[in-house]
Amino acid sequence: MAETVFARTPRLVWRAGTPDDVEALYAIVSDFDVVRQTETWPWPADLSFTRSRCIVTASDQGASGVVCQGDEVVGYLGLSPEGKIGYMFGKFYWGRGLATEIGAAAVAYAFDRFDWQCLEACVFADNPASGRVLEKLGFEEGNACQGPCRARGGVYPIRTFRRPRA
């Protein structure tokens, strides 16, 4: 079966996950510091939930999959049917420019593949690094709001971002 690749950069590949990726993705989401910055990933990590997210592929409404550096799964990135982008990386890979690098490729993929007029993203207010990534990708900050975090079990302040089609 051919590998479904959404985007390549000099260091990274964003592709559909496979059953072979579940263990590596589960290791990433087993770190509370990672999932506490996501809306929907549970804590403690749930193997069946991880498997369900890992095996999703592209459709005419979005795309999600693992981000790999060489043969190693280092993160996860998704484009929802509503035109929202979300990403997470293993803590070891934070601060290396990987989110910005693959994020730029994902933005290009989204606007090439879908007729969305803009992309949207949300980050928790206590995650300034993700806000900086989005700003580097051309997103503009909008109104603050509140949103759920499954891992933390509550509702927290959120920064919203939008990037219109060029």
> Peptide bond before 44: cis, by omega within 30 degrees of 0?
yes
With CA atoms as reference, report the closest residue to 126 among 162, 152, 103.
152
Distance CA 6, CA 1 (A): 16
- Predicted TM-score of the model (pTM): 0.95
Cα separation, 40 vs 34, whole angstroms: 12
Mapped onto helix, strand or coil, the DSSP state of residue 111 is helix
The whole-angstrom separation of Cα 89 and Cα 28 is 7
Residue 145: partners with Cβ closer than 8 Å, 6 or more residues away: 122, 157, 158, 160
Place of tokens 């990274």: 12
pLDDT of residue 139: 98
**Contact criterion met (CB below 8 Å) for 135 and 141:** yes
Residue ranges of domains in the chain: 5-164
Q: Running DSSP on this structure, what letter comes out for residue 93?
A: G
Contacts 24+ apart (CB under 8 A), 81-84: 82/120, 83/110, 83/114, 83/116, 83/118, 83/119, 83/120, 84/119, 84/120, 84/121, 84/122
pLDDT in tens, the chain (166 residues): 568 999 999 999 999 999 999 999 999 999 999 999 999 999 999 999 999 998 876 678 899 999 999 999 999 999 999 999 999 999 999 999 999 999 999 999 999 999 999 999 999 999 999 999 999 999 999 999 999 999 999 999 999 999 999 8
- Overall CATH class of domain 5-164: alpha beta
Give the C-alpha separation, 28 to 45, whole Å.
9
- Please report where in the chains the tokens 């700003």 appear, as a residue: 135
